[in-house]
Amino acid sequence: MILVGFKLTFIGMGIVFIFLTILVSLVKITGRLLAKETTKELEALRVVSRAKLKKQKKEIAHEEDEILVAVISAAISAHHTNVESH
């Protein structure tokens, strides 16, 4: 009974191993066949990403400028309040 269980276990593991080996091989072959297309897509994504990054940097700089103006205005207002109260 135990020997039948071991046979079944090893046969099952062997089938899974063979299937996974074939699957990995097919994925590698597909990767090699589509390498040109993948390179083109990656370059297109990089171009789009660079454009988005530049836009985000400009937006962040604009927001930082607005915050800086608000902080300076608050400091000037606080200074004028302190000067007038003395």
Cα–Cα distances in angstroms (integers) from residue 64 to residues 7, 70, 71, in the given order: 70, 10, 10
| Beta-carbon contacts of residue 12 (< 8 Å; ≥ 6 apart) | none
Q: What is the pLDDT of residue 85?
A: 67
Residue indicated by tokens 């000037």: 76
| Average pLDDT of the chain, as a whole number | 88
Cα–Cα distance, 83 to 80 (Å, whole number): 5
Which contacts (CB < 8 Å, 24+ apart) does range 46-51 have?
Answer: none
Per-residue pLDDT tens for 4-46? 999 999 999 999 999 999 999 999 999 999 888 888 888 888 8
